[in-house]
Structure 1
Amino acid sequence: MTGSAWTHATVTGERIAIHSARSVRPRVSVWPANARKTVPKVFTCPAVPVRGDSPRRSALRSRRGDPRLTEAQSPVNRAATSRRYNPTVRSRRQLLPIAALLAAGLIGGAISLAGASALGVGGKTTTVRQIEPAFAGNSPTSFNPVKPGKAMTINEIFRRDAPGVVQVTSTQVVRTNDPFDFGLPQTEKQKALGSGFVLDKAGHIITNYHVIAGAQSVEVSFSNSDNLKAHIVGSDPSTDLAVLQVNARSRTLTPLAFGNSDRVRVGDSVVAIGNPLGYDRSVTAGIVSAVQRAISAPNQFPIDHVIQTDAPINHGNSGGPLIDSRGQVIGVTAQIATGDTGSGNIGIGFAIPINTVRTVVAQLIKKGKVEHAFLGITAKPVTAEIARLFRLPSKSGVLVASVQPGSGAAAAGLRAGTETAVVSGESWPIGGDQIVSADGVPLTSIDQLRDLIAGKRPGQSLSLEVYRDNEKLTLDVKLGRQPSSPR
């Protein structure tokens, strides 16, 4: 890091302040691993349902999220990649919790409507929430061909693919206690609006998990104005994906073609089709701004290989397709970053890569759920400078920061760092194992390790080569089943 510039973000509520500095030489300080350290807090954004227009209704309540892991504690439990969750964007080198990411569906991503009835007596009155205008932006009117004769215009993509895009409305019944009703329980219906698209002629539809999480009923609206009841085939909070199915005639269904998200490159033209703010089957256009992003799933596990785009995405777009210039789906829109605006599009949206979707959806249709393998450690990738400063036996690999009790890593005897060192403001675990390869694959990043874990099933083994006190060891770890959320 000597003589290099570094940048970090300070999170205060919903505002992110960026600071830069130039370090002349690394400053190193060491304290015991059990010393008290400050963990940055990330807060959950308030819910956005519209409640029944009753004078006794209290203001919407928000819910606070849990603190995230420190930057030295990147969870090494990648998904095979809800409602009310606060997604975070992380860099490729480490997962850094950053506030103010919203899902573009239910509770930070969906348009929510609510009708309430106290004790089942009386009529229902619904108040429509004021819709904020979307941020303006420039969008191309046609695409530059990736290969001669292959690209389509935006209009051609829309005419071909829009019939396969649906509106998803989920209804949840909740019980509330209103002090103005003398503490008597009452029932309230909340509706959330998102998007989805047709997978096949069997009536399977792909959407986001957070659009349908906790729903008692789901309805799907097609471009021909048909409204059909849908049942949930399966869902996976670790990848924020869900599969629905409707009973419809096959000739009325328009399945969308899948592309290959591994071939997506920065600068590629893309369009998003969905139902932003309830405006059905709206199309927006932009480019791929970045690839290989990592975002946080509803259960706070990381989703890797995410596509970033500047195509305008707003509340209600969740679950809709991100489409390339050939008219093929390369991702499922899931989240947006809002900066200090609090809500609305600012040109930073994220889509779950279609190669991840393809794998997860196949398991959901077959089993109704996805079981992810779990190693049970947090770790930090080694840099050449850190290897030199602490005289590590290898210039690559990952340093084990913590080992979860009862996990496969704990059973195999992996050891976490005993001390924490701070170099130029960044924390590093030292004194523990340094993992240099997994199943014979040399490790240069945590993402590599998560990918290898994701390719396995619970109960399978992962062979790790580690350095411990300059001695090279081989440990066979029996992978466990990923828990419902990181601990």
Structure 2
Amino acid sequence: MPIRFLRLAIVWLLLLVSIWVVQPYVTALWLSASAPRTVTPRADLAAAEQATIRLFKEASPSVVHVYARGTPRTSIFSDEQESRVQSGSGIVWDLAGHVITNNHVISGTAEIGVRLTSGEFVAARVVGAAPNYDLAVLQLERPRSALHPIAVGRSADLQVGQSTFAIGNPYGLDQTLTSGIVSALGRKLPSVTAREIKGMIQTDAPINPGNSGGPLLDSAGRLIGVNSAIVSGSGASAGIGFAIPVDIVNRVAAELIRNGRVPLPGLGIVAAKQDEATSLGIDGVIIVRTLPGSPAAQAGIEGATEDGVIRDIITEVNGKPVHSMEELTSVLEDEGIGKPIELSVERAGRTRTVKVTIADVSRLAQR
């Protein structure tokens, strides 16, 4: 009896081993999809998907790729001239061929070209730039393709939580769509000048290098901002992107197209950096110099001496303390060109009141 049981167990063991060895071959023979799979039908796309697809189809023809070549320079390693090429995004603004982009996309360059969604490459020139707002307007030179101006919305009535969509050319990848929400409103971001851009829109829609100058859209496909900057330790999207509000863009673009420049409310002063004032224990705006013919110069405000001795420090505007050039600039922009203001100016421990009228100092700043 034990021998018979042992033989039976061996037979079953051999049978199981055989099945284990043969199983992959049987599976491959009978279950492999050696012919194309049958497509599983699906229902209609979700309403949200359809809306996003429609938004992209309608808005993407208004987004272009901007290329800018820097001034040629001679390499220290060879006698050949080298020139740096930078790229970003742009927005078709009108049927006349004006394109909106960031000033930092085209700043310091000698040649500019734009590739339209049709594939046509068009030369472009700068109509005007507003570094204080990081905006520039380009003019396309005789495009043959049809132009599709962007639909313009408003930024004043935006709310945190609204859906946002960004279209651009991150890392040179044309016509990339990303989405997110309005993360915050009213942010301030420094420009290349001493002025801050106020009212910036913060979004978590992924924005990367190359998105600069491209549109931030609402769920209706309307322009609500121009993507301008990201906050990231690595230089890639970290979910914190900033766009210039369309209400500012609308106003600045019109000024640049009409006059080639944007009026700049100011007093005609050059101030010391905030950290320099802090290191000296000074609370106020240290005047480094005044521009000739400016309201500040006419009011007797003086800059530092050649050997660095500080003369005048602005401490108040219209009776309210100011601690930095950014705060002073904000007051001047809120008041506007042509408005009179009172400054409290400290010199050698004594404070005097000076009346000045805010002027357009954009021409003075170019001297």
- TM-score norm. by structure 1 comes to 0.53
Query: Are residues 1:369 and 2:261 paired?
Result: yes
Cα-Cα RMSD: 3.7
**Paired residues for 1:305-320 under 5 Å:** 305-320=199-214
Question: Tell me, which stretches of 5 or more residues in structure 1 are unaligned?
Answer: 1-140, 145-151, 381-398, 417-430
CA contact (8 A) 1:373 1:481 kept: yes
Q: For residue 308 of structure 1, give the secondary structure of its aligned residue in structure 2.
A: strand
Query: Are residues 1:400 and 2:284 paired?
Result: yes
Distance 1:218 1:200, change over 3 A: same
- 1:167 maps to a residue whose letter is H
- 2:316 maps to a residue whose letter is Q
For residue 245 of structure 2, what is the aligned residue in structure 1? 353
Whole-Å separation in 1 of the counterparts to 2:60 and 2:127: 23
For residue 341 of structure 2, what is the aligned residue in structure 1? 463
CA contact (8 A) 2:317 2:328 kept: no
Deviations 1:362-407 (A, max 9, x none): 1211222224122346899xxxxxxxxxxxxxxxxxx733234326
CA contact (8 A) 2:194 2:326 kept: no
* Cα offset, 1:446, TM superposition: 8.4
Whole-Å separation in 1 of the counterparts to 2:345 and 2:121: 60
* Cα offset, 1:474, TM superposition: 7.2
Give the % identical residues.
35
Whole-Å separation in 2 of the counterparts to 1:353 and 1:472: 39
**Paired residues for 1:9-408 under 5 Å:** 153-178=51-76, 180-181=77-78, 185-248=79-142, 252-339=146-233, 342-375=234-267, 376=269, 400-406=284-290, 408=295
- 1:291 maps to a residue whose letter is L
2:332 counterpart (429, 432, 453):
453
Whole-Å separation in 2 of the counterparts to 1:374 and 1:306: 21
Query: Larger RCO: Structure 1 or Structure 2 (Cα < 8 Å, ≥ 6 residues apart)?
Result: 1
* Cα offset, 1:480, TM superposition: 5.8
Whole-Å separation in 2 of the counterparts to 1:209 and 1:192: 12
CA contact (8 A) 2:98 2:137 kept: yes
Q: For residue 178 of structure 2, give the secondary structure of its aligned residue in structure 1.
A: strand
Whole-Å separation in 2 of the counterparts to 1:213 and 1:318: 13
- 1:405 maps to a residue whose letter is R
* Cα offset, 1:326, TM superposition: 1.7
Distance 1:173 1:435, change over 3 A: closer
Distance 1:171 1:434, change over 3 A: closer
Query: Are residues 1:479 and 2:363 paired?
Result: no
Asked which structure has the greater CA Rg, the reply is 2
Q: Pick the structure with more helix per residue.
A: 2
Whole-Å separation in 2 of the counterparts to 1:326 and 1:186: 50
For residue 317 of structure 2, what is the aligned residue in structure 1? 435
Aligned length: 296
CA contact (8 A) 2:284 2:323 kept: no
CA contact (8 A) 2:195 2:329 kept: no
- TM-score norm. by structure 2 comes to 0.69
Q: For residue 252 of structure 1, give the secondary structure of its aligned residue in structure 2.
A: coil
CA contact (8 A) 1:172 1:191 kept: yes
CA contact (8 A) 1:203 1:253 kept: yes
CA contact (8 A) 1:233 1:365 kept: yes
Deviations 1:323-362 (A, max 9, x none): 11121111111111113xx321111111111111112111
Question: Tell me, which stretches of 5 or more residues in structure 2 are unaligned?
Answer: 1-45, 275-282, 304-312
For residue 11 of structure 2, what is the aligned residue in structure 1? none
Deviations 1:386-434 (A, max 9, x none): xxxxxxxxxxxxx733234326346546799xxxxxxxxxxxxxx9743
Distance 1:379 1:217, change over 3 A: closer
CA contact (8 A) 2:315 2:323 kept: no
